[in-house]
Structure 1
Amino acid sequence: MVDKELVFKALDESLVVISTEVANILLSYRQISDSSLESAGVLIGERRGAHIVLKDLSEPSRWDIRSRFMVDRVSLHHQKAVDDAFKKSDGEWQYLGEWHTHPEDVPKPSMMDCTSWHKSLKSELPLILIIVGRTHFWVGRKIKDNIEVLKLV
């Protein structure tokens, strides 16, 4: 578990801040054992100029399809998490991207991940992509058709 927020930096010096609470929830879904299933959800937070602060997320639901090496978010539960956060924050918090786990120490996007992101994530604004590994996070930022890997500060 972490006791402080995690900060990642893009090439343009913009920051992505993962709150302590969000980081610890993400860590709780690591695929530590050989029977751990892949997990996924959406990222929720606020834009502060060029910077992004992740304040909340959706967690897997019982309706999601999950296996060791695949996850498919099929539940309206994830959209409801975004809608509820938007209302609770008076419109400040919004959908900011997606997260999922991989059963590897230092995760990296698979070809399927990249294909899915390019096909289904369309936005003029930057979106954040997180893969939770057993020991590290992979954090990327998608702007239009470009995905940039962010560096931990």
Structure 2
Amino acid sequence: MQVEITQDVRANLRQALRVAGRREIGGVLMGEQIEPGHFRVVDLSIDKEMGGRAHFVRSPLAHVEALNAFFQRTGNRYDRFNYLGEWHSHPRFPVMPSIQDIASMRELVHGEQNIEFAVLLIVRLNWWRTIASSCTLFRRGYNPSPVEILEA
């Protein structure tokens, strides 16, 4: 799987990470399917309130409005524009999913939400204001697998 991250989304991430400093933040990723297995992150929500120094737990209610606005903006074309997954920062840790991250994402795709797959993007702002990141795919019935990140 490939996930493109647009320059606008990167700029929003960079700004949010700069403001958050050493506190973890996160939200949801909203994407466009370019072709099977190839998605572009076109928007994201940013939860600036829920993060701590060593963990982030997204408040679902805080992101429903962002998702609903995204669906309305994209004409409710769920086959092309939809929820893609989650993101959060690891300002003090490597940009790899923790055991808790893996458990949360497995619960998401194996839960009652009828979500077949979701990606987890983990980011950190480096000294030179570049974004270090990793992306992992979680699918029902499969082990987590790496996602190729493309710059759009």
Alpha-carbon shift at residue 121 of structure 1 (Å): 2.9
**1:1-150 counterparts in 2 under 5 A?**
10=1, 15-30=2-17, 36-50=22-36, 51-62=38-49, 65-92=50-77, 93-104=81-92, 106-122=94-110, 123-124=115-116, 126-135=117-126, 136-144=132-140, 145-150=142-147
Structure 1 unmatched runs, 5+: 1-9
Instruction: Name which structure has the greater RCO, CA cutoff 8 Å, separation 6+.
Output: 2
Alpha-carbon shift at residue 128 of structure 1 (Å): 1.8
Q: How big is each residue's C-alpha offset from its partner over 1:60-85, in whole Å with a ceiling of 9 and x where there is no partner?
A: 154xx321111222251211101110
* Percent identity between the two aligned chains: 27
SS for the counterpart of 2:144 is strand
Instruction: Give the alignment's Cα RMSD to 1 decimal.
Output: 2.3
Find runs of 4+ consecutive structure 1 residues off by over 6 angstroms.
none
TM-score by length of 2: 0.77
Q: Name the CA shift for 1:25/1:121 in 2 (closer, same or farther; >3 Å).
A: farther
SS for the counterpart of 1:132 is strand
TM-score by length of 1: 0.77
> How many residues get paired?
136
The residue aligned with 1:6 is none
